[in-house]
Every structure is written in C-alpha cells, then in structure tokens.
C-alpha cells in the first residue's frame, strides 16, 4: 500500500512538471515582441559604431531584421576606422586631422594674441614639414627667426589668424610653401624683411573644395591692402588687383624673377621697392588713382619696356626706374606740358631723359 502511494506521488510530481513546462513553452510562444529600432552609427577615425538592429522592449532579445528572422547574441558593433593620411593634403581624408611633423619645436609666442605659440625649431633631417593648426590647444601664430632649418624644401602652413614671419624664419632651401588658405589670406599676414632666404620659391593654396592644391602663377588679389614682403621672391608670372585693393606695401612683389605683367587697377598707393628686382617684368599698367611713383618702385626691373603712366602722377621719386635699361619708351596719358610739370628726382632716373615718351594729348 505504501509503495503504491510513493508511485502515485512521483507520478503526480512528474505530471505537474510536465504541465508547468508545457505552460511555460506555451507562454513563450504566445509572447509578442515589442520592437524598437536602433539605427546604424558610422564608425569614425577614433571611435567605433554599430550596424542597425532591433530590440524587444520586454525581453530585450536582439534581432538583425524587423521580421525577426535572425537573432543576435549581442549588439553588432564596428571598429574605429583609424586615420587615412594617404593623400596629398597632409591631413586625414575623413576627419581633417593634420598629419603634423612630430619633430617640430614650439615656444610661447610674444604676440599680443594671448595663448599662442611660435614655431621655433625643426629637424634638419626632414625635407617636408607640416605645421599643425594648434599646439597645446593654442594657435600657431608666429615663425621665429631660424625656425625652419636648412635642408627643408617644403613647408605646409595652416591658415591661422595674424600669422607673423620673422626675419630669416625660412632657410634658403625652402622651395615650396603649401598654404591652407587663399592668396588674400596670405597677403594680409605680417612679414619681416628677408623672412625667406631665397627667391623663385612656389606658393600653393588649397582649392575651393579643399581636396587639392593649386599653384599660384597668375596672382589675383581682392583685399584692401597687400602687406610688406608678402609675395617676395615667389615665382608668379602676373599680378592683377581688384578695384577693392587700395594699397600695396613695400617689397610686396620684390624679387619675383618670373613676374612679367602687373595690372594695378584702382590702386591709391604703391609703396617703395614694390617691384624691386623683378627682372622679367615687362608690362605695367599704373592706376589712375596714383599720384606718385615711390622710391625704387621699379628699380632693376631690367626687362621693363611697356609702361603706362596716368595723368594723375605728380612726382617720381629717387631710383624709381634705376637699372631699367631695356626701357626705350612709355606712354603718358597727359600732354608734354603736363609731363614737364611732374617732379622727377634726378637720382637713379636718368633713363627718363633718354627715352621716347608717347603722349596721349
């Protein structure tokens, strides 16, 4: 009798277990997933992302598709991409991080701009150096004297505000300057005399879409003024100024040995030594607004032979045309009488008394 009771009890327990299992299975089968969509997040250079997936808000089961045909063990993540510096722009093609040279030396700048740094030294073993936009989270605003060592042939420069180039900042070996801005940006910086130790170097600026470099051959400027020495020694072939340009400062285009022509538009002031030593300069159209040809403006422009002088010129200063031995004639907008009323400094301007002048009236 007792044995039959044990058997009955075991049978009852087994039956209950079976019933519970069936109920649980049935309940699971009846569970309707409430799905929430998680959109894909793209990985970046430094952080990972994830693929799209769906998640049940109740049981948190993960699915690869909205039809729940494929379950997931975990959120489908993607790894960080890493930087892509395999391009000619010296920056990551994905995040624009500059591939700065690691051997550069910086010092706190003495500029009035608080919290800025100066490039103070470079490794002579580098032939190409890339300057970052910032150092210690502060902008690079100055290039100190002797900062760029001999042996460096190319330097890539950021387009920060108020860049300042000290005398002898760049060694004579520098042949190419790559600038992450426009020619107008460049023209407004501050340049001390002899900021670069050689001539016939090339300037490259970024294209409008920032994906390539463009060599500056035919220079067109549209700012209000052009700084001293800003294009000293560059291998540009022509200069043209928009009507917005009112002033060109001293030595702005001096030493440009390949410069052939200059159209000065509505310029008010052309400072001393502006085209000094431009040995290929042949044609110049002076602005109607100018009243003076300053000291040594065209000195040693040994190819100059096509010159237009407007009627507004009242004085020609010392050595304005010294060494302009190729000049045989030029056109003057006014009459011979008006020409004779111009004050011409005799020092260094002997050529003006020997050439033919073509008068317009």
Instruction: Please report whether residue 208 resides in a domain.
Output: no
Give yes or no: residues 9 and 121 share one domain: no
Give yes or no: residues 175 and 63 share one domain: no
Question: What is residue 292's predicted lDDT score, i.e. its pLDDT?
Answer: 96
Give yes or no: residues 67 and 97 share one domain: no
Which of the listed residues 78, 98, 118 is the one where a domain comes to its end?
A: 78
Q: How far apart are CA 101 and CA 120, in angstroms?
A: 14
Question: What is residue 7's predicted lDDT score, i.e. its pLDDT?
Answer: 63
Give yes or no: residues 11 and 52 share one domain: yes
Q: How far apart are CA 59 and CA 34, in angstroms?
A: 9
Q: How far apart are CA 287 and CA 293, in angstroms?
A: 11
CB atoms within 10 A of CB 265: 18
Residue 88 is encoded by which pair of tokens? Answer: 């000619």
Contacts of 293 (CB under 8 A, 6+ apart): 270, 286, 309, 313, 315, 316, 317, 320
Give yes or no: residues 234 and 358 share one domain: yes
How many structural domains comprise the chain? 3
pLDDT tens-digit series, residues 289-329: 999 999 999 999 999 998 999 999 999 999 999 999 999 88
Ranges in the chain, pLDDT < 50? none
Q: Which domain holds residue 264?
A: 217-361
Give yes or no: residues 239 and 278 share one domain: yes
Look up the pTM and report it: 0.83
Residue 247 is encoded by which pair of tokens? Answer: 């002033």
Instruction: Please report whether residue 227 resides in a domain.
Output: yes
CATH number, domain at 326?
3.80.10.10
pLDDT tens-digit series, residues 58-70: 999 999 999 999 9
Give yes or no: residues 58 and 28 share one domain: yes
Give yes or no: residues 52 and 87 share one domain: no
Give yes or no: residues 53 and 33 share one domain: yes
CB atoms within 10 A of CB 184: 17
Instruction: Please report whether residue 12 resides in a domain.
Output: yes
Instruction: Please report whether residue 211 resides in a domain.
Output: no
Instruction: Please report whether residue 205 resides in a domain.
Output: no
């Amino acid at each position: 009798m007792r044995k039959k009771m044990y058997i009955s009890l075991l049978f009852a327990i087994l039956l209950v277990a079976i019933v519970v299992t069936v109920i649980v299975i049935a309940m699971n089968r009846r569970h309707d997933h409430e799905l929430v969509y998680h959109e894909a997040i793209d990985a970046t250079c430094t952080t990972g992302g994830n693929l799209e997936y769906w998640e049940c808000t109740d049981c948190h089961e993960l699915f690869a598709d909205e039809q729940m045909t494929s379950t997931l063990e975990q959120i489908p993540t993607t790894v960080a991409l890493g930087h892509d510096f395999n391009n000619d722009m010296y920056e990551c093609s994905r995040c624009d991080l500059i591939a700065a040279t690691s051997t550069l030396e910086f010092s706190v700048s003495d500029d009035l701009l608080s919290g800025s740094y100066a490039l103070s030294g470079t490794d002579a073993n580098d032939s190409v150096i890339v300057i970052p936009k910032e150092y210690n989270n502060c902008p690079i605003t100055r290039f100190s004297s002797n900062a760029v060592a001999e042996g460096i042939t190319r330097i890539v420069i950021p387009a920060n505000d108020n860049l300042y180039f000290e005398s002898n900042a760049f060694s004579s070996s520098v042949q190419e300057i790559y600038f992450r801005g426009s020619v107008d940006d460049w023209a407004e910086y501050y340049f001390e005399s002899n900021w670069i130790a050689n001539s016939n170097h090339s300037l490259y600026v970024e294209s409008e879409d920032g994906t390539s470099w463009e060599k500056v051959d035919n220079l067109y400027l549209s700012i209000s003024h052009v700084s001293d020495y800003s294009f000293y020694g560059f291998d540009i072939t022509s200069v043209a100024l928009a009507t917005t340009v009112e002033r060109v400062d001293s030595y702005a285009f001096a030493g440009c040995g390949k410069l052939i022509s200059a159209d000065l538009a509505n310029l008010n002031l052309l400072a001393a030594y502006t085209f000094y030593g431009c040995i290929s300069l042949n044609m110049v159209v002076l602005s109607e607004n100018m009243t003076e040809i300053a000291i040594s403006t065209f000195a040693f422009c040994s190819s100059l032979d096509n010159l237009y002088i407007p009627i507004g010129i009242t004085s020609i200063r010392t050595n304005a045309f010294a060494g302009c031995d190729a000049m045989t004639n030029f056109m003057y907008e006014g009459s011979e009488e008006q020409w004779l009323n111009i004050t011409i400094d005799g020092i260094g301007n002997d050529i003006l008394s020997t050439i033919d002048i073509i008068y317009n009236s």
